[in-house]
Structure 1
Amino acid sequence: MADLIHFLKASVQGDLVSWASQVAASERYGLSIAEVEKAILELGLLPARYQRNRNMISTRQQLRLFQSHAVVIGCGGLGGYVLEQLARLGVGKITAIDPDTFEEHNLNRQLLSSPRLLGHAKVDVAANRITDINPAVNLIPVRAAFGAENGAELVAGADVVVDAVDNVPARLALANICGKSGIPLVHGAIAGWYGHVATQYPGDTTLQKIYSRFQDSSGVESELGNPSFTPGVAASFQVAEACKVLIDEGDSLRHRKLHLNLLDMEVVEVPF
């Protein structure tokens, strides 16, 4: 470890350690990229890939993100964008949960999809993508459907859970399980030009109130569809919320829902 520290300190430019130096350290000392990243951050240095984070996220907070575990339920429209942004942000451990494979109707909006990947499991594609864009992130693919029976096991150990599921019963089961497990939940939903985001902490009942009158298990997405842009907008709000939860910064969307109307370009806050 002393040799690694000496190598990193000799490689630093200001307080930044370049990607080339990170790879060189990994190869020289037989360590994973994640192990090298951890050492860099614990020294109070910053992997250069995160330098544009620094005016809003301190190096200490970057270490906290690296040490965090986010669970993302769903790897489709919302989930693909959420996974990509969490990985680029530097969240060190991400569990991606989804039972499905990519189909042709996913191609208009799902970031991880492409014609050559039709028929491939979404979680496997997610794992390959995240390894490619940020090898320091440990993405754990779980090909399973989330439900009340297996939910507690699937979210165990999470610091935050991000809801990217596509049906109301699963959302309500997720809210109940996260509440019982003491895990903050960042909820998002989209349909057509519209979307909403909310953050629920243990003991809150925001999602239960949002969906108290919903009868159709698939929600309104089946009616309104989804274009290419709505998932990216809502997912970005979700990742911002997850980031705030993990670094304990700012005011979250607790006890309130942010309603997004991209047709009229209106954002309305609704208290709950």
Structure 2
Amino acid sequence: MFYNGAKCDIYIGKGAGKKLLNDIRNAKQSVKIVSPYLSPFLISELINFRKRNLEVVLITTDNLEDFYGNHEKNIHKLIIQNRNTDKEAVEKREKWKDLSKRLTYIGIGVLLILIGLAYYIRELKVAFGLIPILVIFLIIKLYKNKIKNKRIYSYWYSQLFPFKVYMSPDSTEESDTFIHSKIYLIDNKIAYLGSLNFTSSGTKYNYETRIRTEDKNAIEKIKEEIHNLLNHSHLPERDIQIWGKHLYSEPIN
């Protein structure tokens, strides 16, 4: 993309992101961000924006956040697990449970009868009565395994707000293109471009360069670029369904 003649403000140095953060936090309608690196506390900001019913869009790379480990992470708030229940499978499993329970009662009843007969008759042939009892309990075990392995839940994953995670060249051989842009579009009226990532170091501490513009023609071009990155890029990206399966457990019943 190339656009010339836009009116803009330029800032170079430490603290280049201070005004950016102020503009983002004062957003009234939307916040759209392209940044290859993110800090967890700034992802939290985006989550809070969504709670305020602002339109939030995020384009980043698979450096989004390391999701391994047991502690709670923002990624679990960004990727939401949804569960569907197979009603027919539930009904079938409940029938198996009921049948297993009845067979258990029958097996225990027959065993008690056999113990009584053995006490009064005291003959070895009474032991043959154990055979049907063993058969009953083998059938019970079979049904318990069927109940345990019966899948009644299926899972799918959705996003808290629209975001796309492109794979870096380090994690895929499908592309050598790295989305290294840093673009911030606020309320479709204010845009920032420059070197600073959406990280605490980038917005507060690093020596960075950023450009701020409200030029309408430039804003339209930037808005179009974000839309294309979100919807029409052919670069390899993280599949949210596969990612969700890594993040969450999926008990079958």
TM-score normalised by the shorter chain: which range applies? Answer: under 0.3
* TM-score of the pair, normalised by structure 1: 0.25
Larger Rg: 2
* TM-score of the pair, normalised by structure 2: 0.26
